[in-house]
Amino acid sequence: MKVTVEAPKFDADVKLTTFIKNRVSKLEHFYDKIIATDVFLKLEPNVRPNNKIVEVLVSVPGDEFIVKKTAKSFEEATDSCVQSLERLLVKRKEKIRSHA
């Protein structure tokens, strides 16, 4: 699985990109046919503490899943995205098994 991390308006720290790639790569345990994963890091332009946005796009054969979460830190938002994607991928796997 190919994991791409993009932060268009700022430079993401190496530790942050490594953390994100490690978390996202664990999705393969739930669905082994993932083609690619794109992670977009954004900063919301306001003074609220929850201004970190992580958007994850997962490409699987015949479909794409997009999850977007906002949190106080990119790590927290990434964890939240991965948890949501785990549920989506497990649901997709069960749906494919029931049709086979």
Q: What CATH number has the domain bearing residue 59?
A: 3.30.160.100
pLDDT at 17 over 70: yes
Q: What is the pTM of this model?
A: 0.89
Residue 33: its H or E element: none
Answer for the pair 54, 41: CB distance below 8 angstroms, yes or no.
yes
Report the pLDDT averaged over residues 81-87. 95
Mean local confidence (pLDDT), 25-41: 92
- Please say if the pLDDT value at position 99 is more than 80: no
pLDDT tens, 37-78?
A: 999 999 888 777 788 999 999 999 888 999 999 999 999 999
Cα 51 to Cα 35: distance, rounded to the nearest angstrom: 30
- The span from the CA of 67 to the CA of 55, in Å, is 6
pLDDT over 70 percentage in the chain: 98
- How many domains is the chain built from? 1
Radius of gyration of the chain (CA): 14
Could you list the residue range(s) of the whole structural domain that residue 78 is in? 2-99
Give me the count of residues in the chain: 100
